[in-house]
Each structure stands twice: as C-alpha cells, then as structure tokens.
A and B are shown apart, each in its own frame.
Chain A
Amino acid sequence: MGSSRGRSLVLFTLSTLLLVSIAGGFQSDELLQDDEEFGLEGGRPAADPALSTPTRPPIRRRPDPDLLSGSPDSKSVQFSLEHQFGGSGFFPAGTFTARLKSWSHGGQTLTKLRFSRNALTEEEKGAFERLLKEDGYYTIRVPSNVLTAPGRDFVVSSVRARCIPRESLDEHFIIHTDGVNIVAVNYGSAGACQYPRMLKYPAKWSFTSFTVLKNSEQAPRTPTFAEELLAGEDGLGEGVKPPEKSFWAKYWMYLIPLVFIVLNAMTQAMNMPEEQTAGQSTQAQRAPSTTVRRR
C-alpha cells in the first residue's frame, strides 16, 4: 500500500519534472520516496511565456485559505530565505511556507513546504554574473528555528555559483528539520555539477526551485531473532526462488574438458589406427612374462 503510494508519487514527480526540465537529463532518485512533501513552486513551466519573463514582480505567497481555516492542530508558518553574493551581506530572497502540525504526544513537525522565490533584481543579477565569472560561492541561509527566527543561529549553505545555471537557474533545497528546528539546509544544483566548472550563463535569469523537506527516519531495528525466524518462515513459501540455470550454465566446466578429451581421442584414433593395433599385440605378449618373473 505504502509502496504503491510512493511509486505513484514518484511517477507524479517524474512527470512533473519532465514537464519542467527541458534538458531532460534529470532523473528522480530514491531520496524523493521518503520525502514528506515535494513542493515545486516558483518553477515556471517553459511552455508558458508569460511566466518566464525574468522581471516578474516577486510573488508573496499567501497562506492557503484551507490552512488558515484548517484543523486546530496545524498552523501555517513562514520563514524567509536570505542569500549572499560573495562577500556582501545577506538579503531576502524568498519565503518558505509550511504547515506546522502538532501531535498529541507534544511533538511538532513541519509539513507541506512551499517556497516562493523573489525575482532577481538587476543588481542581484549583476552580482550573480560576477560570481559566475570568478567561480565564487552563492550562499543562502534560513533561520534555525521557524517559530523564533532566527533561532539560535542561521543555517547556512553554499554552492559554487557555476553549478546553478542550466536552462534557467536551477536550485534544489533539502531542508532537514527536527520539530520546529531546521538542522541543516542542503542547497545545490538540481542535478550534477561538472568539474571543471565551465562558465555558462543561463538562458533565463530566473530561479527554478525544487524543495524537499526531510525529517529523520528511524533506524531499522533488528527484530528479535525469534520474530525474524517466524517472519522468515512465513516468507519462505512465497519467496522467489532463484531462476533455474540452464544446463550449459551449470555444467560448462565439465563439458569443455569432456569435449576436449573426445576430440583428442578422435584425432588419435584417426591418425594411427594401425600402429595402435601392433603396439597392443606386443604389450599383450610382454605382460604375462613380467608377472611370471615377479613371482
């Protein structure tokens, strides 16, 4: 059940990705299966020319109405993303919106992450171009606590600016959370980053963002041995048997020498049919005499 849902999720993400990325080289991986939510926001489908203009005003995403009027155990939270081009300070770059779900046992988890990125200003574009030229670091940060931003500290992540441009500026966020705390944000290109890094400008100066929210998973526990044995017995009947190997695959190591021997014998038999008979007769004569003498 769970796996089929996961599979459908992957299918969905794959199809979405195919729609979005023209490069087509992007493939989904297993990481996405475990993800709480796969939000795709700010990524503009290339088919829509109206949205792909780089000078689009920043969208401030409002919380969904259903989030506001939703169940009392969840509420919407917002936290901002800030970025830095090289040495200068941090500037706002976008807003994450997530739903904070409270559990009956007191824990809180973030779910349903949405992200809206501000469009790049001309100044920022210039700064980014400079970064690309000098192969510098593009740095982002988010608060370490979503409720009391910035919390204790900011969670920082950087990437070489040259890793980001593809068709547009493709970025990929993985936010590792622990309750309302953000432990780390992994920021980078959406796919591979070639080394050596070539200077390449994007066709469109807008960000295509992929965001993933991750909570920690429980370690797989070794079930106690008895349980495992039972489970093993159950599974034994339906366990897939290894496919039966072909006769050749099983016995080739015996067959080859056999063939050799046969071939050898045949050639010998063909070469010297007469001498063999002669030799046999002499041997037959000699054999009894030796036995006699030994006695």
Chain B
Amino acid sequence: MESRRNPRAVVDPKVRQVGFFTSSQPDSSSTQQQQQQTDPIPASASSPPVSTISPSGNSLSPVMIPPPRLNSSDTFPLRGAAAGASSAVSPSSFSYSNRRDFPDGSTTASPGRHSRGSFVKSSAPVASSLPGIGMDSMAAAKSSSVPASGLTTVSVVTMPPGLAEKASGMEVQSDQKKNPKSLKEKTTKAERRAIQEAQRAAKAAAKADGGKVPPGTSASVASTSVKVAKPAKPSTQKNEVSVAAGVTEKKGGPSEKDRKKDAPHPRMQYDDESRVVKAKRRAVVKQTEAKNRVELFRHLPQYEHGTQLPDLETKFFQLDPMHPAVYKVGLQYLSGDISGGNARCIAMLQAFQEVVKDYSTPPEKNLNRDMTAKISSYVSFLIECRPLSISMGNAIRFVKNRIAKLPITLSESEAKAALQSDIERFINDKIIGADMVIVKHAVTKIRDGDVLLTYGSPTAVEMILLHAHELKKKFRVLVVDSRPKLEGQLLLRRLIKRGISCTYTHINAISYIMHEVTKVFLGASSVLSNGTVYSRVGTACVAMVASAFRVPVLVCCEAYKFHERVQLDSICSNELGDPNAISKVHGREDINYLDGLTNNANLQFLNLMYDATPSDYISMIITDYGMVPPTSVPVIVREYQKEHLLV
C-alpha cells in the first residue's frame, strides 16, 4: 500500500529540487500561521518519516513507473496506520536514517514535499544551480523538522561541524514555512492525530538515541530548547533529535556519505548526457560507453564489455568499504558467472547475510541507519555491475524494510541474528518454498502423453519437469533455445541425465514444432501488474506462437518477482547485453565475417536481454498463491506487497 505511493518520489527532477531551492521570500503570514498551529508542524515534519520507510527500499527497484496520482489526502491515513502498526519502533528514527541514505533527495522526496512541488516549481531552476547538493539536503532534512521559531538559534549554536551549511539551512527554512500551510489544508483531524502519535513514539525513541550526541552539542541544543516557548516544546525536542542525527552523521566518514548521496538512480536515462557524466564520476566500476548503440535503446546503459571487469579487478583491494562477499557477487554478475533471476537474488541475499554477520556498528552510529546505508552502497555497486533484476529489487526492499523495522531496543547481536534469520526466511519461503508450491500446482497440469515445451532454462520449470518425472508421468519435453546464451543446453543435459525424453531445437523452428506441443511452460523474470510477463528475450515469441496454435501457455513465476509497475513494451525498460556475444561465435573461428567491423559507425549491435509478453498470450500464471489468470496479478501484487512489508 505504501509502496504504491513511493514511485512518485523517484520521478520528476523538478520535484526533486524542491528541497533546496533558494529564492522564495519568507512569508510572514505563513510563519504566523505556523506558530499558531504548532501541532501540525511537527506533524507535517514527521510525515516524511513513516512514509520514507518503504521508499528507501523501493527506490532501488529497477522497475518503477509512477502509478496514477493519488490525492495526498488519500495517503495520510495510510501513514497513520503504518505508524500504528510499527508501535514498538520509532518512526522518526527511520525517517532520518532513510533520509541519510539518500541525501540525494531524489529517492526520498517524501509525499509531503511532493505535494509542495507545485508551490516551488518556479524557483526550482534556481535551486539547481546550487552546487552543494549533499549539504543542502542535509540542511533540508534538518529544517524540515525544525519549526521556524527555533531554527535560527539552533543553526547558529549547534552547527560547529558545518558552519557553511548555515546559509543553506536558512534558505530552506523559507520553503518549510510554506510547507505546513499546504499540508495543513489537506490533513484532516484524525490524520493529524495519527501523525502526532507517531511523533510521540519518535520522540521517546529519539531520546534514547540522543544520548549519543557529543556532550557539548546536546547541551547547547538543550539550552535553546529551553528558550523556546512552551507550546513549541514537542517540536524542539524533535529538533534536538534531528540535530543529533545531523551531528552524528557528520562524524561518520564523509566518504561513506558521498557514496550514499551518489546512489545511482536505478532507472537512469542513459541518453541524457549530463546525467551519464555525473553517474560515471561516482561509479566504482569504470564504464566505457559503447559507441554504436541502436537509436531506440539509447536510454539503456550499454558499456564496452570487457572493459569493466579488468578495471574492477584491479581495484580489488582499493574498495575498502566493500564487503568481500558483495564484491564477489558483483564480479560474478559482471562476468556473467551468475545469471537468472532466482540465482542472482539468492546470491545477493547470501552476500548480504555475510555482510550482516560481519557487521559491527561503528561508534556513535545507529545500527538501523548505518546498516541501511551500507546496504545501499552495496546495492549501488551491484547495479554498476549489472542492472538489478526486479526480483532483486523486491528482495532489497524487503531487507531494508527489515532493517528499518528492527526495534532499537535490540542489542547488536540480537539484531544481527534477527536480520540473518529474516534473510534466510526470505530465501526459504519466498524463493525455494515458492518454487515447491509452484511445482505442486503445476504438476497437476501435466498429464500422460503431454508434450511440454519450455524456453531457455527456467528454474521453476525444471523443478516441475523433474518432479513430474518422479511421479512417473509420461511426457516428452521440447527444449527451445536461442543464441547467444544457449542456456537450454544445460537444462537439456540435466533433463536427459534424469531420463526424460527431450527434443532440442532453436527458436527459429518454433512454428514448425508448435503443432505437436500440448502445453507451454515458461519462466519469468517478473510479472507486472497488467499481466505482462517480463522475461528472457524470445519468450514473447514463444508465447505468441503457442497462442496462435491454441496451445495453453503457463508461466511459472514466484510471487516475489511480481511488480506493481505496468509496462506495455519492452523498450522503455530493458537490459542490453554484450554486443560481442551476438557478433562472435565462440569456438567457431571460421565464422568471423564481422571481424573488424565492430567499431564501424554504420553497424550497430542490439543484444536485448528481456522482452515483455502481453497478457493476452498467457493462459495462466502459476505462483505460490495458486494458479491465476493474468488479470488477477494486481490482486496478488496488492495482497502480497502488504504481506511483504509485514513478513
């Protein structure tokens, strides 16, 4: 439910800049209003906290399309409910942690801010000229929780580490003044109450947290809070918290912060040159863009394959903060040693388990926040190695959500154990367990004498076939394969070893063999909420031919791969593979017609990795929630996402 709102945060660059615009003048009337209405101020200030929980995870998902706009009034009750749900936890602490992870502002732009977007759009261009984005967002984070009355004093006293920030802090202030007004208009009484309750919980938690502030700072903050008028007291408390957060953050090495700030946008448009340049500057992996790219797919990243790996390898010891397990997984993604949605997801989760195991909270840091930051930096590294799959995006969201929801009261070792078992459970329940259930369902569809067709090497389908064979069902398998990966051969090898009778052919022959097929079993990288199946390139072709021959197409996909996004074509979001893979045939030196032409300006290679199969061609989707028609995917997405957050 929350996640539905999040995607909005990711999209519009104009909205992004809201946090750090400069020009608007302080509005005296709004200030007044604000001072009268002290309650809504913290409320509005705290609204980002709860809501940012899921965005932090969600923003990593590679597959975000802004859903239809919701009224912001619609979003508020949800927020309150979420706050209620996580009673033991302090929402405020998340909020700051999450903000810190993405000081970029792009990923954490909260609904509150978003609604403000219309207000300040005019001044956005000015903001974009500001150089210190990180600082600004820091200041923004701070001032968002600071009421206008207290801000000036606080910013003077409590910012020894970053005096330079003062100016920007002041600038942001004006933005904040406007903000409550706009929010206030849209919040109802009940919502405000819910928010306020959330805030109280936050305060309590923050007090415990505040102990970490260096004594000098906390004392000074305390003194300021005394000065402030009583009605504003809850908000100053918050203020202290935020300052404390700011201070502790300062202490955390700047390098790490930079990394966080630079978390690349998961769906960057790679035909936007300025952004590509920016992204390159912060990239860990040196990425040389391929020169001749197909016009239609310019927006997707394509690099000179073979340049990344050596470069990353040489940096092996220089990437200090990188965990070896993560590094290894990244290398394996990059070199193609691991492919396939499930395997990549499992490998990543296992690496994260290692990370959690070896983790120890640095002094003056909070486990929740620091760990989220760490995971984010690892994820951005993995994205550089290879764009995330949707399954991974969902898994990352899960991990981050679990970290954010760790009660602060837990000791470090308990928290680590809890996280490890959570990840373990995700692997066991959502991936392996799901596969078992899928197998159980799908096997009922296999009858004696069936001829089953499968394409590529989907894990779930392989398990189904093996299980059906164990049940002594009599069937034949047609393995359809395609260049350049030829994954089907591996599947074929394993099936034959078990004694299943197989036919192997390439996709070129699909229309000739389809007439003898009785059922088509396909795997999927993801199933989108309009029923579109996003899968290995060629799947759509198989499905369409099958549906033309009136052969039922069954797609096996674990529910954790479902995504709420809607996609109509396979152009706007896809992945480009190594162009050399299609231009060269390994081991066949006699077929070298393209030698020396790879850099020809008139020649462009397109090695697409995925395609989208429209739901019309799919008879049934087999998931761990049963066998459903593609039209029911939204239901599962909705139900599942809820469960996903509460697991």
**Co-complex (A, B):** no
A residues engaging B (CB < 8 A)?
Answer: none
B residues engaging A (CB < 8 A)?
Answer: none
